[in-house]
Amino acid sequence: MDEHNYPLVSYVVQTYNHAKFAEDAMASALSQDYPNLEIIISDDASSDGTFDILQQYLQKHPTDKKIVLNRNEKNMGVVPHLNHLVQHFAHGDIIILTGGDDISLPDRTSRSVEKMLALGVDCLGTNYQYIDGAGQKQERFGLQGDQADVKYTIADYIKNIPITPLGPTKIFHRQLYDVFGTLNDDCQTEDSTLTFRALLLNGIGRISTVYVLYRWHENNLSAHDSLMTKINPTLIYRQYKSDLTTAYRKGFISQMQYIKASRLIYDYKLAGIFVRDLYKATGIWKKHLLGLLFVLNPCVLKRHRDPQWLSYVCPELYMVRTKIRCMLKK
């Protein structure tokens, strides 16, 4: 098949202080076997020489692939950086995202596009395997156990079916920007918000095959803890509410779906505030007490009963929940 029969895909790599891992990210980007691909590598004003390493790698490894290398003059942050790339650099109908410290397997793009089109969804995520800072594979995966490929819609969301964000494996249709506009610069996250946008349109897909090696290292840990204390759930809720209203006004969802989803995203806001307070708490007993209250509070937790979500967002809280369940079984 001629490459022009494939939709153009923008493979976007966002880097920031990823000097240790930049070469791996570049190598995995150049290894993609999808025929109609533009590769966009964008550094968010790193202070550790990441951009220089990227330039040197391209000089040493010439390729006939279409590549754009960008460096922001000032640090923008994840969401404004993504908005900037989608608006000014990405030309594809489909956009695939990867972090500057992660590794995509060579067939990630081709298989993700194939599944996305087959399912008819606007956003898709695959399974992923954790690796450490040295690139060693861990016995830990984004999706645990034997799970079939699934598709979720806004109807599933309203039914309280657990739908975790797509994490480091996201691929989405440009329509998520065309319909809703750019994400708010103060939103703080592109993961769950793009997922929610896709649910409001044609849904999201999740496939069980591993196509990404997700690097979990000391910078992830410190950034995660810092984010969980500084994150403002109200700002994220504001993005959800805006997108929900847009979907309703443009006729993508019904009035009843709008009302029910409004209640659920408000629950998400309450849950987010609770988790932030948990991370801010000092002392193990205070954390355990807040965790216990969180686990036992049906109003706050009803949107987030999925243990996988709990272990991803707040490992300490997941441990508390597990301990309580073990005690009750005894």
Give pLDDT tens digits for 249-306: 999 999 999 999 998 898 888 777 877 777 777 777 766 676 666 666 655 555 445 5
Please give the torsion angle defined by the CA atoms of residues 189, 190, 193 and 195, in that order, rounded to the nearest 10 degrees: -140
Apex CA 45: angle with CA 85 and CA 81, to 5°? 25
Cβ pair 36, 8 in contact under 8 A: yes
Pairwise CA distance, residues 177 & 29, whole Å: 24
The reported pLDDT for the residue numbered 1 is 41
d(CA 61, CA 63): 6
pLDDT band at residue 327 under the 50/70/90 scheme: low
Q: What is the mean pLDDT of the chain?
A: 85
Helices 191-200 and 233-249: angle between axes, nearest 10 degrees? 20
Please report the pLDDT score of residue 296 as a whole number.
63
- Spell 65-88 as b/e; 16+ CB within 10 A means b: eebebbbbeeebebbbbbbbbbee
Structural domains in the chain, sorted by start? 3-216 (3.90.550.10), 225-329 (no CATH)
pLDDT of residue 2: 47
Q: For 8-56, what is each residue's pLDDT tens digit?
A: 999 999 999 999 999 999 999 999 999 999 999 999 999 999 999 999 9
pLDDT in tens, 97-111: 999 999 999 999 999
Give percent above pLDDT 70 in the chain. Answer: 81
Q: Would you call 91 helix, strand, or coil by DSSP?
A: coil
Beta strands in 158-221 (DSSP E): 171-173, 204-215
Average pLDDT over residues 75-81: 94
Q: How far apart are CA 330 and CA 323, in angstroms?
A: 11
pLDDT higher than threshold 90 for residue 197:
yes
Cβ pair 29, 11 in contact under 8 A: yes
- What single-letter amino acid sits at 260? K
Q: Is the pLDDT of residue 4 over 70?
A: no
Q: What is the pLDDT of residues 111-141, one digit of tens each?
A: 999 999 999 999 999 999 999 888 899 888 8
Q: What is the pLDDT of residue 131?
A: 92
